[in-house]
Chains A and B, each alone.
Chain A
Amino acid sequence: MLNYVARRLFYVPLSILIVLGAAFVVLRTTGNPIDIFLDPNHTPEQAKALSARLHLDQPIPVQFAIYLRDVLRGDFGESLQFGGPAMPAVLGRLGATLELLAAALAVALVLGIAGGVACAVWRDRVPDFVISTLAIAAQSMPSFWLGILLIQIFAVDLRWLPTSGRGDLAHLILPATTLAAFVLPNFVLITRTSMLEVMGEPFVVTGRAKGLSAATLVFAHVFPNALNPILSFLGVQVGRLVAGSIVTETIFSWPGIGRLLIGSIFQRDVPVVLAGVVVVSLFIVLANLAVDLLLSVNDPRIRLG
Chain B
Amino acid sequence: MTHAQSFPAPAGSSWARPSAARRSLLAGLLACAVPFALPAGPAWAAETTLTVAAATFPDSLQTGISTFTSTSLLMQTYDPLVARTNKGDYVPALAESWEPTGPDAWRFHLRRGVKFHDGSDFTAEDVKFTLDRIIDPKTAYGFAGRISQVSGVTILDPYTVEVRTKGTFPILPKAVADMPMESKRYYEKDGAEAARRHPLGTGPFVYGNWIAGDRYELTANKQYWGGAPKVDRLLIRQVPEAATRVAALLSGEAQIVEELPIDVLDQIKASRVAAVASTPTTVGLVLTFDPRKPPFDNPKVREALDLAIDKDLILKEILKGQGEVLDGQLLTRATFGHDPAIRARPYDPKRAKELLQEAKYDFKTPIAITTQSGKYVSDVDICNAVAGMFGEVGLNASVNVLEGGVFLKQWNAKEMGPLYMIGWYSLGDADFATVWYTEAGKRTTWVDAEYEKLFSEARATNDSALREKDYGRMMQILHQQTPSIFLFGLPSLYGVSSKISGFEAASDKILRLKDVAVR
Contact = CB atoms under 8 A, between A and B. Distances in A.
Interface stretch (B33-41, B296-304, B327-335): B33-41
Contact of A229 (B1, B140, B142): B1
Contact of B145 (A41, A107, A252): A41
Given A81-B60, A84-B196, A298-B25, A251 B16 contact: no
Contacts of B95: none
B449 interface: no
B38 A167 contact: yes
A91 to B, nearest CB: 12
Interface stretch (B209-217, B311-319, B457-465): B209-217
Nearest to B40: A168
A138 B26 CA distance: 26
A222 B497 CA distance: 57
Interface in A221-239: 221, 224-229, 232
Contacts, number: 240
A152 to B, nearest CB: 7
B226 interface: no
A197 B60 contact: no
B405 A251 contact: no
B261 to A, nearest CB: 12
B1 A83 contact: no
A97 B137 CA distance: 37
Interface stretch (B2-10, B113-121, B484-492, B504-512): B2-10
Interface residues of B, number: 78
Interface in A102-116: 102-103, 105-107, 109-110
B62 interface: yes
Q: Which of B16, B18, B241, B441 has the most CB of A within 10 A?
A: B241
A58 interface: no
B3 to A, nearest CB: 6
A158 to B, nearest CB: 10
B405 A36 contact: yes
B270 interface: no
Contacts of B146: 39, 41
Main SS of the interface on chain A?
Answer: helix
B213 A260 contact: yes
Interface string A67-110: 00000000000011111100001001100100100110111011
Nearest to A32: B409
B2 A169 contact: no
Contacts of B29: 109-110
Contact of A37 (B33, B34, B65, B252): B65
Q: Which of B1, B39, B238 has the most CB of A within 10 A?
A: B1
A197 B39 CA distance: 45
Contacts of A227: 4, 25
Interface in B424-443: 435-436, 441, 443
A163 B408 contact: no
A297 B38 contact: no
Contacts of B244: 148, 151, 163-164, 251-253
26 contacts: A30-B406, A30-B409, A35-B405, A35-B408, A36-B404, A38-B66, A38-B145, A39-B143, A41-B435, A46-B137, A50-B140, A53-B140, A80-B140, A89-B212, A156-B247, A164-B244, A166-B214, A168-B41, A224-B18, A225-B15, A252-B241, A253-B244, A263-B213, A266-B404, A267-B405, A301-B7
The 5 A-B pairs at the shortest CB distance, nearest first, are namely A31-B405, A41-B145, A39-B66, A255-B214, A81-B59
Interface of A: 30-32, 35-43, 45-46, 48-50, 53, 79-84, 89, 92-93, 96, 99, 102-103, 105-107, 109-110, 148, 151-152, 155-156, 159, 162-169, 172, 176, 193-194, 197-198, 201-203, 220-221, 224-229, 232, 250-253, 255-256, 259-260, 263-264, 266-269, 294, 297-302
